[in-house]
Amino acid sequence: MRISKNWLSEFVTLPKALSSKDLAQKITLSSFEIDGVEDLAEKFNGVIVGEILEVRKHPNADKLQLAKVNDGKKILDIVCGAPNIAAGQKVPLATIGTYLPAVDMTIAEREVRGEKSQGMLCASDELGLGKDHSGIIILDSNLKVGTPFAEAMGFDDVILEVDNKAVNNRPDLWGHMGVAREVAALTGAKFVEPNPGKIKVEGKEVVKVEMLHPDALRYMAVKIDGIEVKESPDWLKSRLAAVGQKSINNIVDVTNYVMYELGQPMHSFDADLITDSADTQIVVRKATEGEKIKTLDDQEYKLTSNDLVIANKNKLLAIAGVMGGKESAISNSTVSIVLESANFDHVSVRKTSQRLALRTESSARFEKSLDPNLCEVALARAVELIKKVSPKAKVVSAIADVKKFKLDLGPIKTTVSYIQKRIGQDIPAKEIVRILKSLGFGVTSSGDSLSVKIPTWRATKDVSADYDLVEEVARVYGFNNIKPAMPSMKIARAPFDPLHEILMQIRPLLAYGYEMNEVTNYSFVSEELVKKIGDNPDDYVKVSNPLAKGLDVMRRSLIPNLLLNVVNNARFFDSFNLFEIGLNFSKENGGEPVKKDSKDLLPQQDYFAGGVVYQKGNKQPFYHAKDIVDGLLNRLHFKTKFEVVENGAKEMPWLSGSRFLNVKVNGLKVGIVAEVEQSIIGKLGIKERVAIFEINLQKLAEMYTDAVEFSPIPKFPAIEMDISMITDRSVKWQSIIDTINALKNPLLRNIELFDIYQGENIPSDKKSVAFRVMYRSDERTLERAEAEAVHSAVKEQLKSKLGASIREA
Amino acid sequence: MEGKLQQIKEQALKEIEAIKNSEELKKFQEKYLNKKDGVITSLFKDLKSVTDDLRPKMGSLLNELKVGIESTLAEKIYAVGVTVGGGSNDQLDQTISQRHYHLGHIHPMSQFVAEIEKTFAQMGFWVLRGPELESDFYNFEALNIPSWHPAREAQDTFYVESPTDHKRVLRTHTSSVQVRAMQKYGAPIRAIVPGRVFRNEATDASHEHTFDQFEGFIIDENISIANLIATLKELVSAIYKKELNVRLRPGFFPFVEPGFELDISCNFCDGKGCPICKHSGWIEMGGSGLIHPSVLKAGGIDSKKYSGFAFGMGLTRLLMMKYGIDDIRLIQSGDLRFLNQF
């Protein structure tokens, strides 16, 4: 939105000392943000009205002329190429030193073919006023010589630029009048209400209006005859140009003018195109399903029964509050119009314009919930202006006015002390009352009590309760005039959050303890990737309105996106380990309730830590991944067990079935360690084996403990003895440990693997395993013979239970 | 024999006296105390050939000699200093690095969030979390954003399928946790909620559909705008570790009344004006305001007794400003060339 300072000045006398920049700052700090200040006169700085005193031919050039030009102080010699200049003309003169941005040129005194030139006479294009270069602009001969060109032409305006979003909550600020009222309150200047006077009715015709749906709040209309449609006068055109509105013709321009001035969208129909009997009949109703209308933008729209329309008996005339119909539009041959000034429900207008993707200046305003009282003054103002631009016009119908709206104008009962308490500053009662009154509120006070009547233009949805008044007082008083004061609060311990503890510890452990890099990926995963890894997208929570392909479902696991990270980073790095911590979204509804105490639960969404290990030449990254998990969980004091699962996990078909472990804490599954299935790696174009892990941190948090069981430092030395043996290849290390531990001998303290060998000198279905067993007593120094006895028992156990053959040294 | 011992002693003490460095010290030790053929060792061996009646006396003299030499030597060792591994004259090139540790990296956003959490925790704020896939109620309705509000338009919000009539969204702000927290903990409360939020917006160098925010709020008796200003000034100064000023401008957020846009004095130029603050001296930090009474009500808090304020800031934007990151998409790119810098 563009706000013209000149236009504002018609409603408020701005203090002379207030610069445009200060005005913008004031509005920004107390009302709404001004994005920019554009001084329209700036590009004409240095250009003045000059008078040509004499013109003669250039002695050395056929196409050039020499002019003597009066700049108001002295007579200048100027060389000019334009053929249309003559003595006595007033012309725009760019004086020495002037920069003309339109042609990127700075005027300097120079010689042109031996004749000096002390300035430049300007054509339209040189001033950025058009493309015309055929001749110098000839100005009104009544202009005073030496007057700045911008002032002489009415270009001396300053535009305040506003992002529409900044006034979304203020329906009253969508026209210059409302902004002027606001500025008056902020500066203490006087606000002058527009006073277009009563409409003079000079005929007996009738405009019949029926509102058939409660979304129609008010409909005012008059019929005006004697219309002459023509080009708008300059003052009207330049005003519209200042706010960025194209000029169409005098009648349409007036309706637009009133909208920019008062904030009320207006519409004019060609009366002859909408009147079929003697009377003009207008119906405001909902469209029938599938009803069609061609609008002013030459588009045809198919409507639904939710769309509010303006119609007569036979046809649709307009989409209410959005855009007029093409068939009923005024044209150059129009001689009679029906002028509409109406109000429609903001939600209805918003929904229709949104569904049709038809956003107009009109819909933007109605969406904000305009004051229905505005219709009246706007209609009178439009009639006033139409008579000005089309002098033979006269109102030939009575003023139709149908209204069905209710505004809650209060009064709001509040107290001075409530407002002071919420602001945190004892602003005097007198000042509070003054501020509210300056904004148009009606205030009566008695002692501490205030009774505040809401002005109609703030009552549609903006102001309704005491807390709204706090804002009004505080912002006009000046937020930055409020003295900061610290709140005092009781000391209160935070609820203990074990998940937070784990999240705080896990990142540094993985990064600095296990040489992993943290990444963060989107919470989305693409359906395509889901399918590629052999999973079913139907098992995922779907996004109803995805932004783009590839962002269509919610991740169930951190791993698929991590695999894409592997693909991308493998182009630059040989080896890396990545991890991510974030929420996974389950299709199962085990999460928080959608409302307090509701049985409708959101999807389960737990924090997970996921990791990938990718190392050039590492044929068994699985061990690396497993060791990370083992070390990590031990460090977090969880008693961890790995469980072999034959054929992996069904819910993750993209993981290898034979390189897969469940991670268990206290007997509960908290995660997995696995290698990614070879075929999937191939499909993704990854060249090395990739191992992964994924741990549910929420489940870990439920078992969180910072308890560490202290064991006394051993007082007696241990004895270590090695075993080297041959077993079947299928015998897993865990079962060797379990077999030895099954002896439950109290002297057995530790078993540590140091070699597994398969290959030469070992039968192909066998492997050689070597490990060290540690024996120790807590009561005494162990005799070697004692340890050897247990060691023999261990060997026997391995022979009998696992069929191992022990290699004796 | 006695005389010989005395002579050896004198000689040894003289030699100890002359020791100047660990090299000479070692030579001495080798000569006298070597366990195979050191002078002292040999003397002990010679004891065998001494007659029985003389042996005790000689033995004790020999011991005395040994202890004497050793204790004098001990002083010398202390004076000279013992070196390990060949002394320090081996021309070490200190400019070489030998061990290349490949420590990992924590994502800059995680580091930043941890820092924010720590800063606020120090000032008594709890750190809370909530679901990212949120109900329409907590994300909108409870926050005074009725169904017709523009913020709900499909282009801003990601909706996800719901098996019930109640709509489900990817939370558009961390404010969704406000009412959950009020219902769970009541008042008074002071908490922050950092986390991931979603907006259905096309992505480019400065727009992302997924980014991080944090929300903070205080609810207690008689919380005022003056309290909000003082607290926010302290908080942003804590974040930037220097004294900053704050400035409020009117801003509209349905869940606060009054609502403010929060500016801080530019920490890059101390408010003097620079390209980062577009020469205004102020940087937009986020939104804030007194919590709307209907939001307190939705959270089950008596708005006659309690009032509160809330504020929200974009962590992603702050992070980009902090490090001068020029493309928001890098943050979730998973690109190690980016991540390894932090």
pLDDT in tens, A657-701: 889 999 999 999 999 999 999 999 999 999 999 999 999 999 999
Helix (H, G, I), strand (E, B) or coil at A247: coil
How many of the other CB atoms lie within 10 Å of CB of A689? Answer: 19
Task: Give alpha helix (H) positions in A578-711.
Answer: 621-635, 678-684, 697-702
Looking at per-residue pLDDT, the higher value among A724 and B84 belongs to A724
**In Å, how far from its chain's centre is CA B4?**
70
- Chain A environment of B170 (Cβ under 8 Å): 523, 543
Chain mean pLDDT for chain A? 93
Which token pair is A255? 């309706």
Q: What is the mean pLDDT of residues A720-748?
A: 94
From the CA of A602, how many Å to the nearest CA of chain B? 7
The amino acid present at A662, given as its one-letter code, is: N
pLDDT at site B84: 65
How many of the other CB atoms lie within 10 Å of CB of B76? Answer: 18
Q: What is the mean pLDDT of residues A387-412?
A: 95
- Chain B environment of A351 (Cβ under 8 Å): 148
pLDDT at site A269: 96
Q: Hey, is the C-beta of B201 within 8 angstroms of any chain A C-beta? A: yes
Which token pair is B135? 């109900």
pLDDT at site B27: 87
Cα within 13 Å of Cα(A652), Cβ side: 27
A63: Cβ contacts below 8 Å, ≥ 6 apart: A81
Q: Which residue has the tokens 């429609």?
A: A344
Q: Counting one residue from A and one from B, how many pairs have CB atoms under 8 Å apart?
A: 238
Q: Which residue has the tokens 């992603």?
A: B316
Beta pairing class for A690-696 and A668-676: antiparallel
Kindly report, residue by residue over A34-44, the tens digit of the pLDDT: 999 998 888 88
Label residue B144 left, alpha or beta by phi (over 0 means left) and psi (-120 to 50 means alpha).
left
Long-range CB contact pairs, B238-241, < 8 A, 24+: B238/B119, B238/B120, B238/B122, B238/B123, B239/B116, B239/B119, B239/B318, B240/B264, B240/B267
- Chain A environment of B258 (Cβ under 8 Å): 467, 470-471, 474-475
Kindly report, residue by residue over A458-481, the tens digit of the pLDDT: 999 889 999 999 999 999 999 999
Kindly determine whether residue B129 and residue A499, on different chains, have CB atoms separated by under 8 Å: yes
**Alpha carbons B287 and B264: distance in angstroms, whole number:** 12
Q: Is the pLDDT of residue A113 over 80?
A: yes
Q: Hey, is the C-beta of B243 within 8 angstroms of any chain A C-beta? A: no
Q: Hey, is the C-beta of B342 within 8 angstroms of any chain A C-beta? A: no
What is the ipTM, given to two decimal places? Answer: 0.84
Torsion of CA B335, B339, B341, B342, to 10 degrees: 170
From the CA of A516, how many Å to the nearest CA of chain B? 5
Kindly report, residue by residue over A452-462, the tens digit of the pLDDT: 999 999 999 88
- Chain A environment of B223 (Cβ under 8 Å): 487
pLDDT at site B40: 86
- Residues paired with B265 in a beta bridge: B282
**Alpha carbons A361 and A260: distance in angstroms, whole number:** 9
* CB B157, CB B201: distance < 8 Å: no
- HEC profile of A675-720: EECHHHHHHHCCCCCEEEEEEEHHHHHHCCCCCCCCCCCCCCCCEE
Kindly report, residue by residue over A543-565, the tens digit of the pLDDT: 999 988 888 999 999 999 999 99
DSSP conformational letter for A190: P
Closest Cβ opposite residue B226 in set A347, A485, A561:
A485
Q: Is the peptide bond before B56 cis (omega within 30 degrees of 0)?
A: no
- Chain B environment of A215 (Cβ under 8 Å): none
Helix (H, G, I), strand (E, B) or coil at B11: helix
Kindly determine whether residue A482 and residue B226, on different chains, have CB atoms separated by under 8 Å: yes
Closest Cβ opposite residue A486 in set B148, B231, B249:
B231
Q: Using CB atoms within 10 Å of the CB of residue B90, give its burial: 0 to 12 exposed, 13 to 18 middle, 19+ buried.
A: exposed
Mutate to test the interface with B, among A544, A577, A604 (most CBs of B within 10 A): A544
How many of the other CB atoms lie within 10 Å of CB of B69? Answer: 21
Kindly determine whether residue A515 and residue B103, on different chains, have CB atoms separated by under 8 Å: yes
Which token pair is A625? 């991944």
pLDDT at site A34: 93
Looking at per-residue pLDDT, the higher value among A254 and B20 belongs to A254
* CB A136, CB A91: distance < 8 Å: yes
Beta pairing class for B306-314 and A36-39: unpaired
Handedness of CA B332, B335, B338, B341 (dihedral sign): positive
Kindly determine whether residue B225 and residue A519, on different chains, have CB atoms separated by under 8 Å: no
pLDDT at site B87: 61
Closest Cβ opposite residue A517 in set B105, B131, B166:
B105
- Chain A environment of B226 (Cβ under 8 Å): 423-425, 482-485
Which token pair is B250? 């009117």
**Alpha carbons B174 and B158: distance in angstroms, whole number:** 15
**Helix (H) or strand (E) run with residue A499 in it:** helix A498-508
The amino acid present at A624, given as its one-letter code, is: H
Closest Cβ opposite residue B230 in set A484, A507, A516:
A484
Q: Which of B86, B225, B141, B211 is nearest to A426 (CA)?
A: B225
pLDDT at site B155: 59
Kindly report, residue by residue over A223-234, the tens digit of the pLDDT: 999 999 999 998
pLDDT at site B177: 97
Kindly determine whether residue B127 and residue A507, on different chains, have CB atoms separated by under 8 Å: no
Looking at per-residue pLDDT, the higher value among A431 and B66 belongs to A431
- Chain A environment of B163 (Cβ under 8 Å): 589
pLDDT at site B86: 60
Confidence band of A278 (pLDDT split at 50, 70, 90): low
Q: Which residue has the tokens 């969030």?
A: B113
- Residues paired with B127 in a beta bridge: B192
B95: Cβ contacts below 8 Å, ≥ 6 apart: none
Helix (H, G, I), strand (E, B) or coil at B293: helix
Closest Cβ opposite residue B226 in set A425, A520, A551:
A425
Q: What is the mean pLDDT of residues A755-772?
A: 92
Kindly determine whether residue B196 and residue A564, on different chains, have CB atoms separated by under 8 Å: no
Q: What is the mean pLDDT of residues A606-610?
A: 97
DSSP conformational letter for A299: -
Task: Give alpha helix (H) positions in B218-292.
Answer: 225-240
From the CA of B267, how many Å to the nearest CA of chain A? 19
Helix (H, G, I), strand (E, B) or coil at A741: helix
Q: Hey, is the C-beta of B280 within 8 angstroms of any chain A C-beta? A: no
Q: Which of A769, A796, A786 is nearest to A718 (CA)?
A: A786
Beta pairing class for A576-585 and A517-518: parallel
B324: Cβ contacts below 8 Å, ≥ 6 apart: none
Per-residue pLDDT of chain B (342 residues; tens, 9 = 90+): 778 888 888 888 898 888 888 788 888 888 888 888 888 888 888 888 888 888 888 888 888 888 888 888 888 888 777 666 666 666 778 888 888 888 999 999 999 999 999 999 999 999 999 999 999 999 999 999 988 777 676 558 999 999 999 999 999 999 999 999 999 999 999 999 999 999 998 899 989 999 999 999 999 999 999 999 999 999 999 988 999 999 999 998 999 999 999 999 988 888 888 888 888 899 999 999 999 999 999 999 999 999 999 999 999 999 998 899 999 999 999 999 999 999
**Alpha carbons A363 and A352: distance in angstroms, whole number:** 9
Kindly determine whether residue A583 and residue B107, on different chains, have CB atoms separated by under 8 Å: no
Q: Which of A364, A366, A401 is nearest to A380 (CA)?
A: A401
- Chain A environment of B252 (Cβ under 8 Å): 168-169
* CB A377, CB A262: distance < 8 Å: yes
Confidence band of A741 (pLDDT split at 50, 70, 90): very high
pLDDT at site B52: 81
Q: Is the pLDDT of residue A648 over 80?
A: no
The amino acid present at B82, given as its one-letter code, is: V
Kindly determine whether residue B336 and residue A168, on different chains, have CB atoms separated by under 8 Å: no
Which token pair is A799? 């022979």
The amino acid present at A768, given as its one-letter code, is: S
Kindly determine whether residue A520 and residue B331, on different chains, have CB atoms separated by under 8 Å: yes
Kindly report, residue by residue over A562-592, the tens digit of the pLDDT: 999 999 999 999 999 999 999 999 988 889 9
Confidence band of A118 (pLDDT split at 50, 70, 90): very high
pLDDT at site A809: 62
Using alpha carbons only, give the angle A186, A187, A190 rounded to the nearest 5 degrees: 105
